[in-house]
Amino acid sequence: MAARKPKVIVTRKLPDSVETRMRELFDTELNVSDEPMGRKALIEAVGQCDVLASTITDKIDAGLIEKAGERLKLIANFGAGVDHIDVAAANARGIVVTNTPGVLTEDTADLTLALMMATLRRMVEGAAAVQAGEFTGWAPTWMLGRRITGKRLGIIGMGRIGAAVARRAKAFGLQIHYHNRKPVSSRVSDELEATYWDSLDQMLARVDIVSIHTPATPATFHLLSARRLKLLQPHAIVINTARGSIIDEQALTELLADGKISGAGLDVFEHEPRINPKLLKMPNVVLLPHMASATVEARVDMGEKVIINIKTWMDGHRPPDRVLPQML
């Protein structure tokens, strides 16, 4: 007799190839409408499945985990960030949590460089001017941006993505500075010719571009606080493709409006999907809809990692991408 397939509930629409393979391997219930699950639907889901294949739009807090049925043994997250999951509460209930690290690195790094270029060179503002019929011909002093080559880039969080951004930035002629819990290896530091700052405050006061690549944890909430944002030079720009909660968005908005920070390129927001209305009106800000990992290749790779984590768990082994509370 064939072993019982685990009941897997997928909370959002995934790439067709991923959903098809999940249906082949598991007893899978798909979200055909792709509407985010509300609280009631999530409670119902965790009460009847063995595996919840979640995404960032699902708030899986201690209260929800408390309502989980005895069957739920794995939360296989589609995404690298797990700040929407109470990993400690899950761990206490014997529920394994996994994520999909690594496969988002190159795409996120690409978009980060694109945001730097777009913000420094006023690309979105220029495109809007053309579409509005405001372009009347070349002029020596119109739509002037800033050169990227020669600028000092301050990276907050030199993990996989931070290092990938640094490699791209070095090719563009930027000088690499970074703040991390500890210095990277001498091999990586030598390759990138990177300057390490154990003091985030000191680094912020000296760089032209700040790029955030640290996970969202209680320790990184408002890491770029109002006080720290005020340390930036007036010509500096802020780039965020990590999580919105790492920046005090209200303080950033006020400093941008007052001209105390030159610009910002944001792919994530503190109260996502809501965005500060003042930010929407600012010409010196480039706003994107949380699309750093939005490539066909990345989303398929993410789905394949979810499948591997579920299959490994199903076979009685430790999933390769398990997340533990002490890792956060």
| Tens digits of residue pLDDT in 181-197 | 999 999 999 999 999 99
Known catalytic residues?
243, 272, 290
| Mean pLDDT confidence for 189-213 | 97
- Is pLDDT above 50 for 1? no
| Tens digits of residue pLDDT in 129-175 | 999 999 999 999 999 999 999 999 999 999 999 999 999 999 999 99
Query: Is pTM beyond 0.85 here?
Result: yes
| Tens digits of residue pLDDT in 44-54 | 999 999 999 99
Task: Give the mean pLDDT of the chain.
Answer: 96
Asked if residue 177 and residue 52 are part of one domain, the reply reads no
Residue numbers of the domain that contains 25: 7-102+295-327
pLDDT at 133: 96
User: How many structural domains does the chain have?
Assistant: 2
Asked if residue 23 and residue 72 are part of one domain, the reply reads yes
Asked if residue 82 and residue 124 are part of one domain, the reply reads no
Asked if residue 232 and residue 184 are part of one domain, the reply reads yes
In a domain, 1, yes or no: no
In a domain, 2, yes or no: no
Asked if residue 60 and residue 112 are part of one domain, the reply reads no
Q: Is the dihedral of CA 199, 221, 230, 116 positive or negative?
A: positive
Asked if residue 147 and residue 258 are part of one domain, the reply reads yes
- Is pLDDT above 70 for 2? no
Are 146 and 123 spatial neighbours (Cβ–Cβ below 8 Å)? no
Are 68 and 293 spatial neighbours (Cβ–Cβ below 8 Å)? no
Asked if residue 166 and residue 61 are part of one domain, the reply reads no
**How does strand 322-323 pair with strand 96-98?**
antiparallel
| Secondary structure in 3-state letters for 199-259 | CHHHHHCCCCEEEECCCCCHHHCCCECHHHHCCCCCCCEEEECCCHHHECHHHHHHHHHCC
Name the band, by pLDDT with cuts 50, 70 and 90, for residue 328. Answer: low
In a domain, 254, yes or no: yes
CATH of the domain at 186: 3.40.50.720
- Is pLDDT above 60 for 245? yes
Asked if residue 274 and residue 133 are part of one domain, the reply reads yes
